Amino acid sequence: MAGPQHEAAGPRPTSRDVARAAGVSQATVSLVFGDKWRGRVAERTAERVRTTARELGYRPNLAARNLRLGRTRTALLVVPALTNEFFARVYTGAARVAAEHGFGVVLYPSPDGIGPARDPFDSSRAALDGILASSIASDALATIQGDELPLVMLDSDPAGSLGAATVNLDIGDGMRQVTEHLLALRHREFLHLAAGVDSWTFDVRSEALATALRGTDAAVRTVRALLTVDDARTAAEAALRAAGPRPTALVCDDDILAAGACKAARRLGLRVPEDLSVTGFDDLTLATAVEPELTTVRLPAEQFGEHGMTSLLAVLDGRTPRTDTLPVELVIRGSTAPAAR
């Protein structure tokens, strides 16, 4: 029984097999999988080698190569929570780029979304080559990084970033697009449902909203809520019941907050969007699961992860990292309409 099973499985493909099938030298295969091909192998050739390797089921001997390089070829992605779809997409993009360069990605959520984290390894400095971290989970870095590992920050203040590079989304422009859309619909009484999280990315949203309303005849009130539907519903319901002119537009820092705001409106007998326009931020699956579907800002989460990992790999290779600011897009759906008054 053992003999036939072994023959059916076939011998494990080698770099020589990949070289022969791709029509290149074995040295070229080594350069591609050693991530040393740039400037020495054409990009089209490198892609052909990777494609051929996948088709043959070839796996380089990472353990042996890592011993030679003195690296684990592992990066840590620190995010606020695994339950947040946005960061799941960021991971997908980061892991895709990492895999193309023979790296693995360990995904580590900061406990409770924010706050200090326990070192996920006996010694992170011995087990990791570098870290990619969301600014929302930056408190976790004091334990994990030890001020010794290469670090790239995501969605962080470039002026005060902890990392060797920072990759950002144009959050401010996204909020500007939201505000201009609502002003064009003649909304003048705004309620800002802000995330109750101390983070640069949410500060940018607040500042951008205030800037976009400056010089107009519009007024804005701000209330804060934790990033849960229930907390958002409670905060929005209290704000909509408050004395004074009732808001006609509710601007939310996140789609989850917007879902809670829509629930609050229904409990108060308000129609969305006839009585109250609601906007979100992120364009999660949730944005099209609610009714009416949310007007929101689409953030390119996978591309964000890709660019972040590309920057980290550049830092590890001693190259100049990219410090992009990725554009965002307002997606107009059914939750916004002209102001009723």
**pLDDT tens, position by position, 173-211:** 999 999 999 999 999 999 999 999 888 899 999 999 999
Q: What does the pLDDT average to over 129-141? A: 77
**Stretch (H or E) spanning 257:** helix 255-267
**Stretch (H or E) spanning 262:** helix 255-267
Per the listing, tokens 């990219």 go with 322
Instruction: Name the phi and psi angles at 159, rounded to 5.
Output: -70, -25
- Tokens for 228? 């849960």
Q: What does the pLDDT average to over 265-293? A: 96
> Which residues sit opposite 130 in a β-bridge?
75
- Whether 94 has a pLDDT exceeding 80, the answer reads yes
- Tokens for 40? 């020495």
- Summary mean pLDDT of the chain: 84
pLDDT at 210: 96
pLDDT at 139: 64
pLDDT at 63: 42
- Tokens for 153? 């920050």
- CA quadruple 30, 35, 39, 42: dihedral, nearest 10: 70
Range of lowest pLDDT (72-76, 97-101, 216-220): 72-76
Q: CA angle at residue 213 from 212 to 218, to 5 degrees?
A: 155
Contact predicate 182/336, CB 8 Å: yes
Nearest to 215 by CA among 257, 261, 179, 253: 179
Contact predicate 317/102, CB 8 Å: no
Three-state secondary-structure class, residue 54: helix
- Whether 145 has a pLDDT exceeding 80, the answer reads no
pLDDT band of 58, cuts 50, 70, 90: confident
Q: HSE, CB side, 13 Å, CA atoms: give it for residue 253.
A: 26
> Which residues sit opposite 122 in a β-bridge?
none
Give the rounded distance of the alpha carbon of 181 from its chain centre: 25
Per the listing, tokens 């494609």 go with 51
Report the alpha-carbon distance of residue 1 to residue 162 in Å, rounded: 58
Residue percentage of the chain with pLDDT more than 90: 52
Q: Which amino acid is at 304?
A: F
Q: Which amino acid is at 242?
A: A
Q: Is the torsion defined by CA of 295, 296, 297, 303 positive or negative?
A: negative
- Whether 68 has a pLDDT exceeding 50, the answer reads no
Report the alpha-carbon distance of residue 267 to residue 287 in Å, rounded: 20
pLDDT at 122: 44
Q: CA angle at residue 219 from 217 to 224, to 5 degrees?
A: 160
pLDDT at 234: 97
pLDDT band of 241, cuts 50, 70, 90: very high
**CB atoms closer than 10 angstroms to residue 340:** 13
Q: Distances from the Cα of 191 to the Cαs of 107, 160, 263, 293, in angstroms?
A: 35, 30, 15, 19
Q: What does the pLDDT average to over 133-140? A: 73
pLDDT at 2: 39
